[in-house]
Amino acid sequence: MPDSKIDPSSSFGSLPLQAGATSIGGLFRNRARIDRDAVALIEGEHRLSFGELNERVNRLSHVLAEEGVRRGDRIAILSRNCTAYVEVELAAAKLGAMVAAINWRLADPELIHCINLAEPCLLLVAEDYIDTINRLDLDIPLTIELGAEYEARLARAVSIEPPDQAQSEDGLVILYTSGTTGLPKGAVISHRAMIARGLVYMLEYGLARNEAFVAWAPLFHMASTDHALGNLLRGSPVIITDGYNAETLSEIVEKERIGWLPLIPGMIDHFLGALRQQPVKPHGIRLIGAMADLVAPHQIAEITEHLQAPYVNSFGSTETGLPPGTAGLIPIGEVPTDLGKRQTSFCELRLVDEMDREVPDGVPGDCAIRGPTLFSGYWRAPEVNAKDFRGGWFHMGDVFVRRPDGKLDFKDRAKYMIKSGGENIYPAEIERILLADARVDDAVVVRRPDSNWGEVPVAAVARNDDSLDGKELLARCRKELAGYKQPKEIRFVGFDELPRSTTGKIRRHEVENWFKSSDDEAPEQSE
């Protein structure tokens, strides 16, 4: 009887693997055939159908190819959100090239680092940043200015469909991490990972085809790029806006049917102020928000009431997409008291100790994950990749506790953990106590050097009511936290004084500089 096993190295055995491979460019080409006249992109009053968008993407693909862009090459883009940004990503997808999405908010040394790291053969730059590029010491073979030059090049190019060069494991985009403790790293997101992210995004939230995604967050971040591409691949519209603007978002909310409206820490307080002054009547929103752990619970309740949509209790990253824990929703009008995460579908998760041994339920452990949404590693960082991908799992550096019911309680980033007198203190658990007071709009706990304990927790708090004083907050902490976890100082600051990243997360290392003191008798609070 012949052996029924298929040799995967044989030509017959490899056929299923080849047939199962696909790319973002190929999928978008087919989507444009299926939904040629449906609206794909909305930017202000300008709308592009899938057919029109695909024609422009084809023209751009030929422009890039004529300039020598080939599979595996990197092209960089420095621009605020615009239609061209999405066109560049899709054109690169068809060529098998990677787009290095540069954060325009970075300082000059950081910009130089990120661009040089990718070694792009071509840079597309918005008019606003031409002066920036000219003053940087860069060696880039070709720069194309977005605007008149870009449109002229597209007009001269042919619109025939280029051959799809990409393979599923080819890099699609390089998205840069925040680099809170050093220079940013470039996370490579493959076609495979981006396709999987779109599938998980649609599956977890049951989004309808006619529900738009609002790409107001920077397209150099996964919050917009992941979900914009996911929407387009399934034939759903994407609304592009140039950053957060309360009036613009309010108009979109009243006019368009929206699947997910991302709202991030740092902008919710301002958006709530605008909604209180000028309430809106949403046309229809399925869900809103992100990173519930970093938002005051009373703000979550209020914003869901205003927009009549539940809040996403998310936990993902640039490296993982929506996983590991973005399946839970907070109901409309609810002040959440439990922010336990529900594990996202189609990912495997382990919580491990410092020896990479799986910990039992109830014990804090570093989150190790694997699954199809996972990135392909950091660009040109072999030592970091070897450490973070050890044992066949990606180690996120985020500490969770798994409950007996399967939910995951986020403790904190491992690198934020405060070691005080031999005890482990996770800032997030103190922050949750502070944020539970409705008079607190934001709070961050960081470490301060201490001659007795090595380091101790201290807090910066933004309040909305001047009647709140540090003694009240310390009393709340004493009631709910162990003694060694008590913040040794509470400093009140203005909400806008808290330094933030592009995703609204507070830059802890900058706040730590405010508390650079090893005085044993530090004040408990400062007004």
Distance CA 65, CA 27 (A): 20
pLDDT tens digits, one per residue of 86-102: 999 999 999 999 999 99
Residues 36, 50 contacting (CB under 8 angstroms):
yes
Chain-centroid distance, C-alpha 467: 36
Query: Average pLDDT by consecutive 10-residue portion of the chain (527 residues)?
Result: 45 57 95 98 97 98 98 98 98 98 89 95 97 93 96 98 94 83 86 97 93 96 96 97 95 97 89 96 96 89 98 94 95 95 96 95 95 97 95 93 94 81 80 92 91 85 93 91 88 93 82 71 38
Alpha-carbon dihedral angle through residues 313, 343, 23, 395, given to the nearest 10 degrees = 100
pLDDT digits (tens, 9 = 90+) for 182-238: 688 999 999 999 999 999 999 999 999 999 999 999 999 999 999 999 999 999 999
Q: Which uninterrupted H or E stretch holds 148?
A: helix 148-156
Cβ 324 vs Cβ 373: under 8 Å: no
Strands 490-492 vs 454-463: parallel, antiparallel or unpaired: parallel
Place of tokens 């109830």: 362
pLDDT of residue 165: 92
Per DSSP bridges, beta strands 171-176 and 186-190 are antiparallel
310 token code pair: 């539940």
The tokens for 439 are 């008079």
Query: Over pLDDT 90: what percentage of the chain?
Result: 77
In sequence order, the β-bridge partners of residue 443 are 461
pLDDT at 19: 73
Per DSSP, the three-state class of 194 is: helix
Query: In 119-262, at which residue ranges do the beta strands (DSSP E only) sit?
Result: 122-125, 143-145, 171-176, 186-190, 212-215, 238-240, 258-261
Tell me if 327 sits within 8 A of 344, measured CB to CB. yes
Query: Phi and psi of 205, rounded to 5°?
Result: -110, 0
- Domains, the chain, in order of start with CATH, read 22-243 (3.40.50.12780), 425-526 (3.30.300.30)
Q: In whole angstroms, what is the distance from residue 7 CA to residue 304 CA? A: 55
Contacts (Cβ under 8 Å, ≥6 apart) of 324:
315, 316, 341, 343, 344, 347, 349, 367, 369, 396, 408
For 512-521, letters b (16+ CB in 10 Å) and e give bebbeeeeee
**Any idea of the CA torsion for 460, 420, 519, 433, to the nearest 10 degrees?**
20
| Position 303, amino acid | I
> How much is the pTM?
0.84
What pLDDT is attached to residue 181? 47
Alpha-carbon distance values, 158 to 4, 56, 155 (Å): 50, 9, 8
pLDDT at residue 519, as a whole number? 45
